Every structure is written in structure tokens, then in C-alpha cells.
Amino acid sequence: MSESRTTPNASPEEAAADSPTTPAGPGSWDTRSEEVLAESALTTASHPASVPAVKGKARKPGGRRGGVDPVKALMHRHRELCEQAVDPLEIAAGLEAHGVTDRTAARFRHRDVFSLAEEMYARAERDEEPVPAASAPDLSATGPQVPVGWPVFALLPGAVCAMAVAALDLTSGSAKLFAGMVGALAVGIALKVALRQGPLRVLGRQVPATRMWTGFLLVYALVGEGLLGGILAGGPEGPWPLHTAPLLGLALAVAPGSWCARIFAVQSARTLAASRGLDDFAAAVRPLLGGAFAVFLAVLTGLLLASGAVLGEEARGVGPAVALGALLLLARLLEVHGFPDAGALMLGAACAGEVLALATALGGRLPGFGFLSAPVEAVAGAWGPGAVPVLICGGAAAVLLAHAMRRLTRASAHAEVVR
């Protein structure tokens, strides 16, 4: 019998608040919570009559000698997970999502979470008919399922954007405005199809504001640098210059971004199948994520340089577009793996930073408020107006990369892979 964790004079509300419950979020439990979980299971297991059997199982007395069966209590706590799991890996990912670590597994007489999940899976299906091998494909070798022909869909945004840019160069006046509007609509539709029919599709919860933030950042990549430069020069005067090369490079980068996401998902699934501990899995997946991200940045830089050379813009706008592409990919990866809030927050922060830069540049014109535009003028004077979005989007991308290294290296982030 474990020691009581409430004082003799504790009220019922305090006792209820101190009792172990199912975690409300994906974050890990602290050390005390792990002890409460393990000791609660041991305490419950010492009273077999108080633990209902898993659905579809007849309770058998003497299932484990000694009268203490902590694993059965844990199975009851995660009964739905045990019933619906198709293999032990899914149970391991679910346990980790609920805060069970290798240290917690040791209190259940197992060396790690994967070993604990294997016993829970074996005992949950003990009295059921065996599932044919054909109905449970080995996703550890192929990764999550994606629609057939997704590589073709991934090429659509780049192809459509190239045609839209060509139409802008070949038209003038009102025809150019019409071509720009139709081209923007066509690129948006192509991008939506590519994202929904490829490795970057989101099957879980989404944050609606993400689309609005993304659209604003893309518009700033098109006109923001010229607008900010005009404001700092005392204008703007006349139409703002359009920088189409960054948008063309970003559209072309959808295909390599999809491939990097696919490779990361497949390799992570294989690593999860071969891992024997959560720490081992995290250590193996971390270089995978870093490598895929580095490859994407290298390919994106090459595409931006090629787009600038073809359109006559040279290397102008490459830095801001690289920072923006990194931010968009990391936000999408987190959203794909079930963490949409962080990406939406950083995208919104980047939008707010760029709006603030334009507002302070304008506000500095007011008498006595020149100090407002001093930071933006200092950055633009040293490295050009393009340095402002580089610092803003690059800083947001750095924060997301650190967050992704923590979130996407957890087994629970790849639960859909083993599902």
C-alpha cells in the first residue's frame, strides 16, 4: 500500500486535486507526477476487485502471481488505446503523449516505454482472434500514407507561378493588373492542392489564422522591401517595385519541401520501429530533422538564385525569401505532426514585426518622433531594407527550429506514422 499524499486534515477538494488524472496536454509530467502515476497503479493493482477488465476480456484470477499487477491498472487507465492499437509502437507513442517516460516504465518493472507497450499490447489482444497480416501493413518501411501522384501535385505551384510571372512581364496597364489577380488566384489554388495531396497535408487540428499570416508574409515578400525603401527615402513615389523572383523561388521550393517532409516522416517511422527507448529515438531523429531542414535551405537558396538570374533581379531578395521559406516549412511541419499553435504564433509574430517596421518608419516623420524610425533606419542603412525581414523571419524561424527539435523528436509526434 503506497503512502497517502494528502494530510489527515485535507479537504475532499484538495484530495481530489492531488489525485492522479489523465493529462490534459501533450507536455511531459514532472517527477512527482510520474511517482503518483506509478504508485497509483500499484495501489490499485493490490485490490484486483476494484480494477475492471479491459473491454472484451474476461477477468481471470491469478493472472499474475503475487497479487500486484501494476500493468493491468495502467491498461485500464489507457483502455481505449490498448483496444484500438494495431501494434506496440502505437501504444508506446500514446503513453509518451500522456507523459509516461522510461523512468515511469521502470516503476512498472520494465526497462523502457517500448517494453511496457509490448506487454500491454500482448495482453490486450490475448483473447482476440489474430489479425491477418494483410490487414496491418508495415508502415515502418513506407511511412504515413500519402495520395498517389503527390510528386506531380508538388510541382504545380512552381509551374503555375512561373506562368503568372511570365504573364506579368508580357502585359502592361490594366491588363497587367488583371493578369496579376488571376495569377495570384491560380497560384493559391495550386498551392492548396499541393499541400492537401502530399506529405505536407494536415490531418489534425489547424489554426485558421495561419493562412492569413502566410498570405501577408508572401505579399510583403513581393512589395515590402520596395515599400520600406521608398518610405525611408521620403516616399514612396509612384508604383511600388514588385520583386517576383522571391515568390517564384518559394513556389518552386514546394516540391523539395514536400520531399524533405516525406523523407523525414519515413526515416522517423523506421527509427521508431527499431528504437528501444524514448531517448534513443530522440537522439536518432534529431539529426534527421536537422539534415532535412538543411537540405531544404540549400535547395531553396539555389532556386532563388536561379529565379533572380532568369528574371534579371540577381540576388536581390534572396535573404528574406530564405528566412521566410524556413519559417513556413517549420510551421507546416509542426502543424502536420499535431503542433499547430507554435507555428501560428510565430507566423503572427513575424507579421506583427513587419507591420511594426513599416509603421515606425512612417511614424518617424512626425515632428519630435524621429526616434521611432531610428532602429529601422540603422538596420536598413547598414544592410539594406531587405535586412529587416531577414531579422524578423529569421528570428521567428530560429525559435521554431528549437521548438521543433524538442517536439518532433518525440515518439508521440509520429503516432500517425505507426497508426
Average pLDDT for 95-115: 68
The Cα 163–Cα 151 span in angstroms is: 19
At 182, the pLDDT band (50, 70, 90 cuts) reads very high
pLDDT digits (tens, 9 = 90+) for 14-58: 444 454 454 554 444 454 554 554 555 444 444 444 444 444 444
The Cα 35–Cα 377 span in angstroms is: 56
Smallest CA-to-CA distance from 386 within 162, 158, 222, 169 is with 222
At 171, the pLDDT band (50, 70, 90 cuts) reads confident
Smallest CA-to-CA distance from 200 within 264, 271, 279 is with 264
Lowest-pLDDT range, 45-49, 81-85, 102-106, 372-376?
Answer: 45-49
Q: 56 in the Ramachandran plot: left (φ > 0), alpha (ψ -120 to 50) or beta?
A: left
The Cα 379–Cα 356 span in angstroms is: 14
pLDDT at 60: 46
Torsion angle, alpha carbons of 372, 378, 381, 384, to 10:
-90
Average pLDDT for 173-188: 90
Q: How many CA atoms lie within 13 A of 161 on its CB side?
A: 24
What separation, in Å, do the N-terminal and C-terminal C-alpha atoms of the chain show? 37
Average pLDDT for 374-397: 92
Percent of the chain surpassing pLDDT 70: 65
pLDDT at 280: 77
What value does the mean pLDDT of the chain take?
77
pLDDT digits (tens, 9 = 90+) for 157-167: 999 999 999 99
At 143, the pLDDT band (50, 70, 90 cuts) reads low
The Cα 80–Cα 308 span in angstroms is: 54
pLDDT digits (tens, 9 = 90+) for 314-353: 888 899 999 999 999 999 999 998 889 999 999 999 999 9
At 365, the pLDDT band (50, 70, 90 cuts) reads confident
pLDDT at 134: 38
pLDDT at 291: 94
Does residue 82 carry a pLDDT above 80? no
Percent of the chain surpassing pLDDT 90: 37
pLDDT at 296: 96
pLDDT at 301: 95
Count of beta carbons in the 10 Å neighbourhood of residue 368? 6
pLDDT at 119: 66
At 388, the pLDDT band (50, 70, 90 cuts) reads very high
Q: Which residues of 327-350 are buried (b: 16+ CB within 10 A; e: fewer)?
A: bbbbbbbbbbbbbbebbbbbbbbb
Count of beta carbons in the 10 Å neighbourhood of residue 289? 20
Most confident of 113-122, 123-132, 333-342, 405-414: 333-342
Does residue 118 carry a pLDDT above 50? yes
Average pLDDT for 205-224: 91
pLDDT digits (tens, 9 = 90+) for 226-285: 888 888 888 777 677 788 999 999 999 999 999 999 999 888 888 877 766 677 778 888
How far is the CA of 74 from the CAs of 81, 98, 124, 169, 339, in angstroms?
11, 12, 12, 65, 26
Most confident of 46-50, 68-72, 136-140: 68-72
At 124, the pLDDT band (50, 70, 90 cuts) reads confident
Whole-structure pTM value: 0.71
pLDDT at 331: 95
